Amino acid sequence: MLFDKLINCVYMYSRNLLPISFGLFIIVFIVTHMVSYPGSLSYLMTLTRGEQILDMEPSFSSIETYSRLEAFGEDGRQMYKRTILSIDLIFPLSVFFFLYQLGKYCSQVLPNGRRLTLLFAIISLTYLGFDLLENSIVLVILSYYPYQLEFLAGNIGIVTIIKRIAMMSGLIIPFTLLSYKKIQFYVQSD
């Protein structure tokens, strides 16, 4: 009984939070990825002469991982650590908040959508968990550099792929279901 009241309260407020979570996600994306300041992705990319960070382009072998980190240079590796400890914590939280709110909204407007609530929560939490795991692995690899942690460096790409699948699922599934509902509405109204 109390759980149902709590769920109803969350449903009531989450519709209002979707636009806020989307706006927050956009603002955080712009500030962390497009504006150049020490600690931002843009600054890091400039410092490393365009080298892709490990979570933007997956690496599937320790040789590839360490080759890429070597290309960063010492200053780039130090800035990469700083970036992980700042924007790579804030950005995943904003993505999680948006994915979670999108899933909640979808659960509210779809018939029998409450059954989807748990699925969307799991997808959002999977994204956040694997993004934070990925960041932790990169931070450990960078902290021990130049000592090579073969297992972590060779398997970080798998973590990146799972994170991306969860993120894309958190976007594609709700939008597909909402589109299907809209199409169904137009077909039935003809």
The answer to whether residue 60 is domain-embedded is yes
Q: What is the pTM of this model?
A: 0.85
The answer to whether residue 103 is domain-embedded is yes
The answer to whether residue 78 is domain-embedded is yes
The answer to whether residue 98 is domain-embedded is yes
User: What's the rounded Cα separation, in Å, for the pair 48 and 73?
Assistant: 7
Residues 6+ apart with CB under 8 A from 140: 149, 152
User: What's the rounded Cα separation, in Å, for the pair 59 and 54?
Assistant: 6
The answer to whether residue 25 is domain-embedded is no
Q: Count the Cβ atoms, other than its own, within 10 Å of residue 162.
A: 17
pLDDT at 11: 55
pLDDT at 95: 95
Q: Which candidate, 123, 128, 125, 84, places its Cα nearest to that of 106? A: 123
Q: Would you place residue 160 in the very low, low, confident or very high pLDDT band (cuts 50, 70, 90)?
A: very high
Q: Has residue 2 got a pLDDT over 60?
A: no
The answer to whether residue 63 is domain-embedded is yes
- CB 157, CB 60: distance < 8 Å: yes
The answer to whether residue 105 is domain-embedded is yes
The answer to whether residue 47 is domain-embedded is yes
Residues 6+ apart with CB under 8 A from 168: none
Total domains in the chain come to 1
User: What's the rounded Cα separation, in Å, for the pair 114 and 35?
Assistant: 39
Q: Can you give the residue range of the structural domain that contains 67?
A: 34-189
| Structure confidence by residue, pLDDT tens digits, 4-49 | 555 565 555 555 789 899 999 999 999 998 998 888 888 998 888 8
User: What's the rounded Cα separation, in Å, for the pair 157 and 44?
Assistant: 20
Residue with tokens 């939008």: 175
Query: What average pLDDT does the segment 92-105 reach?
Result: 94
